[in-house]
Amino acid sequence: GTGSSILSALQDLFWLSKSKVEKQLQIISVLQWVLTFLIMGVACTLILMYILCTDFWAIAALYLAWLVFDWNTPNKGGRRSQWVRNWAIWRYFRDYFPIRLVKTHNLLTTRNYIFGYHPHGIMGFGAFCSFSTEATGVSQKFPGIRPYLATLAGNFRMPILRDYLMSGGICPVNRDSIDYILSKNGSGNAIIIVVGGAAESLNCTPGKNSVTLKNRKGFVKLALRHGADLVPVYSFGENEVYKQVIFEEGSWGRWVQKKFQKHIGFAPCIFHGRGLFSSNTWGLLPYSKPITTVVGEPITIPKINNPSQKEVDLYHSIYVDSLIKLFDKYKSKFGLPETEVLEVN
């Protein structure tokens, strides 16, 4: 009757409103991370300097004193917070794309691991969501394994930002930090290294599956020195969420990018996603494209205190072969044609 029709209409309106609220929360969660990635470090530094010049200078002075005292904490495993890693905001972040973590093999808690994450993408959304939050269930899928996502050491010199990153289990990608986690922090540790780094980000573009890996062998040497098993990880869809202007080799744009990469550690990219209020406009928000992070089979690595170049090359070649096999095995399941080939540069 009329009453039931009105009730049905109200129910439809309620669910529509709930859907819109969910979408807005997803957008806000992703936007806060994009702004964190791009400006939080600089913004917090400027704010701290400003406070030093006001009547509240004592607050800033106390924090700076704490910063000096706490300076080496990032290199000693950091200060992760399960509360922060379980924030509801990360579930909205996950659902925006959505992001999914796929486990293919069990990991022993009696071993340590180095995950090689590919590709870098512009901001590494899959790496962050899968390993620095609990949104994709990493602790349930790999019980007893503590993931540490490694990123630029310079981020840990930025006030406030360093503490925010450490709360998610993020650590500096330097030798001191990696040595500590793999040798003085027990077993069951997994360091996630985005092997291609800034150089790889310069070439990421939708529809392209390529990794910068041929001459990246430092992570293999670290694995041998500590006897940490290597695990290839490929994130399908990581390159799809932003469109980037790719500068040709030898152009002025590529020259500027490489200078930044060499002296600062990151390469400035000219990219765009969608707008805040419409997917048909340009903006900083990534496009809502699925990202599926597949964790491959661990490669057993012997402990060799001083590995020779021949030994490093051997295990590097094994790793490259394992990554290609992982890509080939899962590419068709996640939207790529069987003819797609992973380009290894």
Kindly list the domain boundaries of the chain, sorted by start residue. Answer: 18-333
| Mean pLDDT of the chain, nearest integer | 91
Of the listed ranges 129-133, 194-198, 201-205, the least confidently predicted one is 201-205
Q: If you search the block for the tokens 């901001």, which residue do you land on? A: 123
Q: Is the pLDDT of residue 168 over 70?
A: yes
Q: What's residue 215's pLDDT?
A: 93
pLDDT of residue 265: 66
pLDDT at 202 over 90: no
Helix 88-96, helix 2-35: angle, nearest 10? 100
Mean pLDDT of the 60-77 span: 95
- For the cut 80, the answer to whether the pLDDT of residue 90 exceeds it is yes
**Which residue reads 């060799």 in tokens?**
304
> Do 99 and 304 contact (CB within 8 A), yes or no?
no
The pLDDT assigned to 198 comes to 80
pLDDT at 256: 79
Query: How many C-beta atoms lie closer than 10 Å to residue 344's C-beta?
Result: 14
Average pLDDT over residues 125-132: 97
What's the one-letter identity of residue 71?
W
> Residue range 215-220: average pLDDT?
96
Burial class of residue 324 (count of CB atoms within 10 Å of its CB; 0-12, 13-18, 19+): middle
Distance, first Cα to last Cα, the chain = 67
The tokens describing 235, both together, are 């994130």
Unique residue bearing structure tokens 């990534």: 286
